[in-house]
Amino acid sequence: MKLWDKGLSIDKKIEHFTVGNDREIDLHIAPYDLQASLAHAKMLASIGIITAEELALVTTGIQTLQQQVTDGTFVIESQFEDVHSKIEFELTQQYGEVGKKIHTARSRNDQVLVALQLYYKESLQDILEKTHTLFNTLLQLAEQHKTNLLPGYTHLQVAMPSSFGLWFSAYAELLIDDVHLLQAALKTVDQNPLGSAAGYGSSFPIDRELTTKELNFATLKYNVVAAQMSRGKSERTLTLALGSVSNTLARFAMDICLYMSQNFDFISFPDELTTGSSIMPHKKNPDVFELIRGKCNKIQAAYTETLLLTNNLPSGYHRDYQLLKENVIHAVESLKEVLDIFDYAIQQIIVKDIDLHDEKYKYLFTVDNINTLVENGMSFREAYQKIGGEVTNGTYTPDTSKKHTHVGSIDNLCLEHIRKKFNQ
């Protein structure tokens, strides 16, 4: 069944190519298409297109289908082109003509658009909650390990003292920047496109304010052409935000993989969180974080694909938009999974004591030693040249008689500022 079927046959090869795997992908938006269909039916009843009795029948039918979605028994069989045709068929089978009436004053264009907007909106709210959970976990770890020193690196060379408190809270604060983009994406998709039909509105006296309220959108997309053109723009905004979170998590995962290696040996995880080798019995591999890194890089690629698919399309609907659904939905679902597993795994991190007297950390406190000379009256340039000369000629010996307690550490006030910043 196809919503656009006029009784003419279509070449099977063409049908297979144009439908693609929409049936599988549309299972993700089925609950939202049902939600929007119910809101649309209520609006049609309010303007006299369907009767109160017909609305009651449609409501019962949609609620039955919603329960099937919840139970996991909702299936889009091969004879249906997409979720929209499946829903209309089921309502028509059960309740007759009213099942056909609810497509009045809408198009498959705004039908899929509103379902996707609802899906994006709910998913972004879910991702924001999961990001907040991870943020809190990282700040707890930062406070727990704020005095555990960690060698800092620049250019992958030993640089200056840092701490696990700084490390954990640094990624926590980066998540705040990601949250700003997630909130911007949420505001972008929180606009009701229903009623724009094929992108040029409807001659029926529809009430778009009613559906906006029913679907709990913050506002509606007033211009119907703009509503249609939001397809693609919403996905670009969304994938940019998802990619920002993914970039933070991918870099964090890379740190973890690096710090777990024997050459660094800063951290570890319980055996049950790692995997082994089929031929090397000593291996303890960070597969979870390697997969997180890979999945996050795939998510970041979704923005580029979305941009290229929609970059030069003129106004109006184009079938190119169909190709957005699969990878955008995959990116959304993948990030949800990554945030869950990251939070679960990082809570079990084992922070090791690091011997800063090891020869490879000999130059870790050169800056601290320069600062000590400056405090004793020497100019910074002279102090820099003195310590630098000692390093060059091999006579440098770390001065451990006085340590700047602030070097590499993070205090409770800083952690509290980061926590407040997240909630602003």
* CA atoms within 13 Å, Cβ hemisphere of 57: 18
Walk me through the domains of the chain, giving residue ranges and CATH numbers: 12-101 (1.10.275.10), 115-146+162-194+222-351 (1.20.200.10)
CB 51 within 8 A of CB 45: yes
Cα angle: 363, vertex 365, 370; to 5 degrees: 110
CB 160 within 8 A of CB 172: no
For the stretch 133-163, pLDDT in tens is 999 999 999 999 998 999 999 999 999 989 9
Rounded to whole angstroms, the Cα distance separating 177 from 212 reads 30
In this structure, the number of other CB atoms found within 10 A of the CB of residue 270 comes to 10
In this structure, the number of other CB atoms found within 10 A of the CB of residue 124 comes to 23
> Quick one: pLDDT at residue 79?
83
Of residues 110, 102, 127, 84, the one with CA closest to residue 191 = 110
β-pair type (350-351, 149-154): unpaired
Bridge partners of residue 268, in order along the sequence: 350
For the stretch 236-281, pLDDT in tens is 999 999 999 999 999 999 999 999 999 999 999 998 887 765 677 6
What would the mean pLDDT of 382-409 be, rounded to a whole number? Answer: 81
For the stretch 287-331, pLDDT in tens is 999 999 999 999 999 999 999 999 989 999 898 998 999 999 999
* CA atoms within 13 Å, Cβ hemisphere of 104: 20
In this structure, the number of other CB atoms found within 10 A of the CB of residue 157 comes to 7
For the stretch 321-369, pLDDT in tens is 989 999 999 999 999 999 999 999 999 999 999 988 889 999 999 998 9
Burial of 160 (0-12, 13-18, 19+ CB in 10 A): middle
> Quick one: pLDDT at residue 4?
41
Residue 5 pLDDT greater than 70, yes or no: no
Q: What is the pTM of this model?
A: 0.92
Rounded to whole angstroms, the Cα distance separating 311 from 321 reads 11
- 3-state secondary structure labels for all residues of the chain: CCCCCCCCCCCHHHHHHHHCCHHHHHHHCHHHHHHHHHHHHHHHHHCCCCCHHHHHHHHHHHHHHHHHHHHCCCCCCCCCCCHHHHHHHHHHHHHCCHHHHCCCCCCHHHHHHHHHHHHHHHHHHHHHHHHHHHHHHHHHHHHHCCCCEEEEEECCEEEEEEEHHHHHHHHHHHHHHHHHHHHHHHHHHCEECCCCCCCCCCCCCCCHHHHHHHCCCCEECCCHHHHHHHHHHHHHHHHHHHHHHHHHHHHHHHHHHHHHCCCCCCEECCHHHCECCCCCCCCCECHHHHHHHHHHHHHHHHHHHHHHHHCCCCCCCCHHHHHHHHHHHHHHHHHHHHHHHHHHHHCCCEECCCCCCCHHHCCCCHHHHHHHHHHCCCCHHHHHHHHHHHHHHCCCCCCCCCCCCCCCCCCHHHHHHHHHHHHC
Total residue count of the chain as it appears in this document: 424
> Quick one: pLDDT at residue 356?
81
**Residue listed under structure tokens 């990624």:** 171
Which amino acid, one-letter code, is at 290? E
pLDDT tier, 82 (very low <50, low <70, confident <90, very high otherwise): confident
* CA atoms within 13 Å, Cβ hemisphere of 126: 15
> Quick one: pLDDT at residue 295?
97
Of residues 99, 134, 93, 114, the one with CA closest to residue 36 = 114
